[in-house]
Structure 1
Amino acid sequence: MPTEEQVRAVLRGITDPELGLNVVDLGLVYGIEVAGKRIRVRMTLTTSTCPFAATLPAQVEEALRAAFAGHEVEVVLVWEPRWTPERMSEDARRQFGTP
């Protein structure tokens, strides 16, 4: 059974094409649940009008299915709480000059 950290490591390989940072460091991943053969990721986007609203969650699902073959993968797109730059990792905030 994969660990939450292993799932997070796979997600770090998925980059938001507009911002050039991975979805974990951007703070787009709100939750990861691993139970048996099931992986569930709750994530958001920087805005509800993001042009990658259809493709980014699909990339997350595809990457997890490839990394953890035989596991059921569910990616849930949520809008609450709203994403803000404060959700970014410290490294990401430094890269964008955000305190």
Structure 2
Amino acid sequence: MFDEWIAGFVIFALTLSLTPGPNNTLFTTSGVNFGIARTVPHILGVAFGFPTMLAAVALGLWSLLNTVPGLLEVLRYVSIAILIYLAWKIAGGAAGKI
């Protein structure tokens, strides 16, 4: 049972990471504008971050967020703050300096 679960997880993660989507578009744009060397950290962030996020959810992070009162609310506000910060940096023309 566990081997089937791992195989399904790996196939799902590979399929999503190899299909065209917003990340591949960003990689292409970043590679054209900044070169391959400066785009590699972005590629590695997505390549390791997405499977890590899937594994965290699969291993019960959602149950933890539902069990601990207030934790989901804190995560929401932290996420909003990060998005506002990134939007501010992009609007200020300093997106390349983040």
Structure with more helix by fraction: 2
Larger relative contact order, structure 1 or 2 (CA cutoff 8 Å, min sep 6)? 1
TM-score (norm 2): 0.31
Structure with more strand by fraction: 1
Query: Max radius of gyration: which structure?
Result: 2
TM-score (norm 1): 0.30
